[in-house]
Structure 1
Amino acid sequence: MLKLTPQQVYPTLSQHMLVDGFRKMVVDLQRSEGSYLYDSLNERRYLDLFSFFATSPIGHNHPALKTPEFQEKILSVALMKPSNSDFYTTEMAEFVATFSKHAMPEHLPYLFLISGGALAVENALKAAFDWKVRKNFQKGHTEEKGTQVIHFREAFHGRSGYTLSLTNTDPTKTKYFPKFKWPRITNPKLTFPLDDAGLEQVIALEKQAVAEIEQAIHDNPDDIAAMIIEPIQGEGGDNHFRKEFFQQLRTLADENDIMLIFDEVQTGIGLTGKMWCYEHFGVQPDMVAFGKKTQVCGFMCSKRIDEAENNVFHESSRINSTWGGNLVDMV
């Protein structure tokens, strides 16, 4: 492989790629440490308030990741990098056992792993579509039905195929790409500082949102597979919601055979004081998508999915990927 200096990074990349990240900075992977990034282009150290899109929860070059034992283990995994979807290792089993013990709530026993938060959401949606269509067949439908997703204004769920129809923050990220016209609902976000007038306004917005959801269900009978929301909307503006609203969503999902999906790619893994943000609200979702701070991404699912026979956790090849989540990220 060619050897380049920090001064050659931008000219080299710019010949072949859109270089629109942090300008005039080249990260030094060896000299970055803790909460600080080292810029080898300008020989400067920066306090890191970005942490690579909130994917680096323990900082840079943590001592526990520098031990000979860990480095030997991660090197052996990186050199081979098996396709986890068909070849199993003790390293993968150790990760799943650890994740199950520390991060998986009892009501979410099923686990799917993949690389990337958008694909975590994407496959949760596919699992919901599969579940809904199969349930409709069990009810007597003779054609596929269960293809729509209720989502909210100012949501960001990724930039892959299905998620493009959900994300509606910066139009630059979605314009000109084909999208489904799925029901988009008012997001009854809180405004801080919250006073009596603000609370009254939020409650009115919640009623409006519930009415919009009920109308969408009425207009699309048996065709709503899932309802997805970020417990706190991130890119949409740090938007918070009341626990009473989440409880209403749970009731609507139960009453109408809809999977309630929480996208915790941004909010999960202790960021809000609990392992998962939804645990603050007294509501149990049917699926939780995760990523970023977990490195490997995916979704957890409840046994509600077993209402449909031969669902994606029992029938081979319904959801899958080459790597099945990156083993390097698991180790």
Structure 2
Amino acid sequence: MRFLQATVVSRHCAALKGLAYPRNYATIAEPAAPAVKTQAIPGPRSLELKGKLSAIQNVVPVQLFADYEKSIGNYLVDVDGNVLLDVYTQISSIPLGYNHPRLLNVFQNEKNLKTLINRPALGVFPGKEWPEQLNSILTKIAPKGLSNLTTMMCGSCSNENAYKNIFIWYRRNQRGENVDFTDAEMQSCMINQPPGAPKLSILSFNGAFHGRTLGALSTTHSKYIHKIDVPSFDWPIASFPQYQYPLAENERHNKEQDQRCLAEVEELIEKYNKKGIPVAGIIVEPIQSEGGDNEASPEFFQGLQKIGKQRGVALLIDEVQTGGGCTGKIWCHEHFNLDGPPDVVTFSKKMQLGGYFHKEEFKPQQGYRVFNTWMGDPSKLLLLQEVINVIQEENLLKNVNIAGKVLKDGLLDLEKEYSHILNSTRGRGTFLAVNCQNGKARDDIVNRLRMKGIQTGGCGEISIRFRPALTFQEKHANIVLDVFRSVLREL
């Protein structure tokens, strides 16, 4: 391991000479390379803490306990002193790495500190800065054409409430713009019956993940453990394209997948309309993340948008995991050359707070229809503003594309070298994945990578996914690739 680290560091120093990486970021005192001290992860201290936590909650998913005071940049340090190059980043949630100095400074300002501690019920008592702050966010990062914004706490509640906006929009279109609620509607909704509680649906896709709250869970289809024992709505589920790789060698098959799945979407909309559960909206991820990093072409998404417009069905693009710059653009759907914006775009994770951008017509006319106590968090918006400033000042989207190309090209090389183990490298920017020959091999590789200092994660049944911070550079990509190669040699 020591020899590997020395080789890697030497190569990176030489490689960096010709690269113009962010000047400010280069001053962050990261470790030179990962280092693992314990014979296993979780180590003794993590296991001790896991035992304490198990007394009050289920700890099966806990992989380790982190020391967030010592973690820095792209490196996660655990309580046993293991230093891991983190290309998973809290399930794609850390935009600038750990303890970025610009973010640490946000709450050194007394005014910002008061925003943090005086957390308001935004729907009724927003602070005086709130309109200006939201307008600043809209100007800098809003998907083109979406002028309205609703803030929330997390990805699940963003999708959950976006469904409500879609249902409200759909019913208003049915009633007519200025038609009031009837007495029958107001009374029947209180006992969960039509016409006030209408039978409407959201169409989703096999392999999708949109959250674990009750409505969002009805559109999640990635793993049974998320859903078993929990009642779900009778909502339509369409097939998502299953591509063969390399893409350039499988154009005919992949185009047929697009056409087949789009035809199925139309058939399901027709079927559920006849069934008396009309489809009000379609929800789709630009890349199905939890379900296995399944991609679809720009033409597929263009087809979905066309179907929605023709049939009066809203298109919601779930950018909870793909939003925030990790695909080389702030929004992954910007790669698709759509005919105008989606109707709704949800976000969270790297964006610090949850919420959704939407068209004007999706804004409810009455108050309290989409409402909760906090409706987001102004302190998280302050962090997001600083994240956006750093992205722009340090040209981090360019950085993502540079580092992403190195990582993707390296994975493709490993795939050729170890074709009996790896296949189907795919993704955009640093938002990447590669398949293993089976789930057992995938889990083994992920564990071996961790024991050599690389923290990554699985998705779907057989995929390893890469979700580094926007500050992930070519030198980090080369460390990952060298360690990955050493693991494959062992196998």
Q: 1:61-210 maps to which residues of 2 (within 5 A)? A: 61-67=99-105, 70=108, 72-138=110-176, 143=195, 145=198, 147-196=200-249, 198-210=250-262
Residue pair 1:32, 1:38 contacting (<8 A) in 2 also: yes
**Which residue in the other structure is 2:18 paired with?**
none
**Which structure has the larger Rg over C-alpha atoms?**
2
CA distance in 2, matches of 1:230, 1:59: 24
**Which residue in the other structure is 1:16 paired with?**
56
1:161–1:69 distance in 2 versus 1, CA, 3 Å: closer
Residue pair 2:95, 2:324 contacting (<8 A) in 1 also: no
What's the CA shift for 1:85?
1.7
Encode CA deviations 1:236-286: one digit per residue, 9 max, x unaligned: 111111111111111111111100000000111111111111111111210
Instruction: Give the partner amino acid of 1:269.
Output: G
* 1:49 and 2:87 correspond: yes
CA distance in 2, matches of 1:301, 1:218: 26
1:321 aligned to which of 372, 376, 381: 372
What's the CA shift for 1:86?
1.2
Q: 1:217-232 maps to which residues of 2 (within 5 A)? A: 217-221=269-273, 223-232=278-287
SS at match of 2:225: helix
**Which residue in the other structure is 1:250 paired with?**
305
Encode CA deviations 1:279-310: one digit per residue, 9 max, x unaligned: 111112100000001111011101343xxxxx
**Which residue in the other structure is 2:381 paired with?**
330
Encode CA deviations 1:76-103: one digit per residue, 9 max, x unaligned: 2232212212111145345313311211
1:30–1:281 distance in 2 versus 1, CA, 3 Å: same
* 1:293 and 2:331 correspond: no
1:320–1:193 distance in 2 versus 1, CA, 3 Å: same
Bigger drift between 166-175 and 98-107 goes to 98-107
SS at match of 2:176: helix
CA distance in 1, matches of 2:84, 2:293: 25
Residue pair 1:83, 1:323 contacting (<8 A) in 2 also: yes
**Which residue in the other structure is 1:37 paired with?**
76
What's the CA shift for 1:7?
7.9
Instruction: Give the partner amino acid of 1:12.
Output: K
What's the CA shift for 1:130?
0.9
Residue pair 2:151, 2:354 contacting (<8 A) in 1 also: yes
Residue pair 1:136, 1:146 contacting (<8 A) in 2 also: no
Encode CA deviations 1:152-203: one digit per residue, 9 max, x unaligned: 111000111111111111101111110012111111133221244x221222
In the alignment of these two chains, the number of paired residues is 318
SS at match of 1:182: coil
What's the CA shift for 1:20?
2.4
What's the CA shift for 1:217?
2.2
Instruction: Give the partner amino acid of 1:150.
Output: L
SS at match of 1:220: helix
- When the two structures are superposed, what TM-score results if normalisation uses the length of structure 2? 0.61
SS at match of 2:245: coil
CA distance in 1, matches of 2:52, 2:264: 51
Bigger drift between 142-151 and 220-229 goes to 142-151
1:150–1:6 distance in 2 versus 1, CA, 3 Å: closer
Q: Unpaired segments of 5 or more residues in structure 2?
A: 1-44, 186-194, 383-491
Residue pair 2:258, 2:296 contacting (<8 A) in 1 also: no
Instruction: Give the partner amino acid of 1:75.
Output: L
**Which residue in the other structure is 1:212 paired with?**
264
Calculate the aligned-residue CA RMSD, in Å: 2.3
Q: Aligned residues: percent identity?
A: 31
**Which residue in the other structure is 2:23 paired with?**
none
SS at match of 2:247: coil
CA distance in 1, matches of 2:67, 2:111: 23
Q: Unpaired segments of 5 or more residues in structure 1?
A: 306-310
Residue pair 2:107, 2:113 contacting (<8 A) in 1 also: no
